[in-house]
Amino acid sequence: ALVSLRQLLDYAAEHSFAVPAFNISNMEQVQAIMQAADACDSPVIMQGSAGANRYAGEVFLRHLILAAVEQYPHIPVVMHRDHGPTPDICAQAIQAGFSSVMMDGSLQEDMKTPASFEYNVEVTRTVVRMAHACGVSVEGEIGCLGSLEAKQETGGHTPVKPDHNRLLTDPGEAAEFVKQTGIDALAVAIGTSHGAYKFSKPPTGDILVISRLQTLQQRLPNMHFVMHGSSSVPQEWLQIINEFGGDIPETYGVPVAEIVEGIKYGVRKVNIDTDLRMASTGAIRRFLAQPENTAELDARKTYQAARDAMQTLCQSRYEAFGSAGHA
């Protein structure tokens, strides 16, 4: 059944777990996410970005999620709009039936220029008022997450070095923001960034600024925190991509163990896009490179390889974040 983000995260907080929020653009991703959730009995958050709307079309994207809800009536599903750039776009998603929206007012409408605190409060409050009147939840963001901007300019292909100090969420500002907006969940910047190029050296275990999360939780004990840029950039998939014709430079993501640490301090929604892209790209490259598949024309077999790889990845995240068993 379709549920709001607030309903799901309140329950997750009671039981001290987090839910991975997977970005989707196509049917195979939706099916992988749902098959994995069904296998381990996990609730689901699926989210669509502006890029996903451009790729699939808003109507297809929405109906893919609604198909999942119909096919798996026993699994709670949140249909979330990721990084809504304006109140108008959030209103459209609410109207279309999304059960949760993110108003990303940390950036101006161009999604590039950092916005003022006052602007962020203003647009986020507007969305909260509309959304709550419809039973829809709102995620806000305070502090600037790394490389959304750089990602849009380069298509995500250029390694970007995040500047940790500049990006961290200020706890005082966060507390004021929550008070003035009435949001249901807060995206915080604690050292992650979007895309595959988060860290150029192997992360040493303290890559997230957990101390900042601890302070945030002391200031906001009832808030649900959202971690963006939470892909782990699996080295095994990176190697498979490169073994079968890819050319991805050395790069690292957020270790799953660090996310698990964050869950102790109120992280309840963990955004993952890049890892599914890596699993499907690696699985497709490997499948097509096999000698027995060189004459294969049934493209469903290729997509099946991608779907299987994504399903395995999703299930391991449900299990690691503790949402398995809670559908």
Please state the residue numbers annotated as binding site for dihydroxyacetone phosphate.
195, 229-231, 271-274
Nearer to ligand 13P, 37 or 254 (CB): 254
* Rounded alpha-carbon distances, angstroms, from residue 7 to 26, 130, 172, 195: 26, 18, 26, 29
Nearer to ligand 13P, 171 or 229 (CB): 229
Least spacing, CB of residue 129 vs ligand 13P, in Å: 24
Nearer to Zn ion, 3 or 148 (CB): 148
Name which position in 80, 228, 268, 269 contacts Zn ion (CB under 5 A): 228
Name which position in 80, 83, 286, 317 contacts ligand G3H (CB under 6 A): 83
Residue 82, interface with ligand 13P (CB under 6 A)? yes
How many CB atoms are located within 10 Å of the residue 246 CB?
15
Annotated active-site residue 82? The verdict is yes
- Helix runs in the chain, H state only: 5-14, 27-40, 50-56, 58-71, 87-96, 117-133, 148-154, 164-167, 171-181, 210-219, 235-243, 256-263, 274-289, 299-321
Residue 23, interface with ligand 13P (CB under 6 A)? yes
User: Which entry of 82, 163, 170, 308 is annotated as an active-site residue?
Assistant: 82
Residue 274, interface with ligand 13P (CB under 6 A)? yes
DSSP 18-69: -EEEEE--SHHHHHHHHHHHHHHT--EEEEE-HHHHHHH-HHHHHHHHHHHH
Phi, psi of 2 (to 5 degrees): -70, 130
Q: Are 170 and 209 in contact (CB under 8 A)?
A: no
CA atoms of 232 and 256, how far apart (whole Å)? 6
Nearer to Na ion, 194 or 307 (CB): 194
Name which position in 102, 167, 263, 267 contacts Na ion (CB under 5 A): 102
User: Could you give the string, one character per residue 218-257, with x where binding to ligand 13P holds by CB under 6 A and - elsewhere?
Assistant: ----------xxxx--------------------------
Both tokens assigned to 17: 């777990």
Residue 195, interface with ligand 13P (CB under 6 A)? yes
Phi, psi of 260 (to 5 degrees): -60, -35
Name which position in 28, 184, 273, 275 contacts ligand G3H (CB under 6 A): 273
* Rounded alpha-carbon distances, angstroms, from residue 71 to 38, 66, 77, 151: 11, 9, 11, 34
Name residues contacting Zn ion, limited to 254-273 (CB under 5 A).
271
Nearer to Na ion, 112 or 161 (CB): 112
Q: Which stretch binds ligand G3H (CB under 6 A): 48-56, 118-126, 132-140, 308-316?
A: 48-56
* Residues classed as catalytic: 82
Q: Which residues bind ligand G3H (CB under 6 A)?
A: 23, 49-52, 82-83, 194, 273
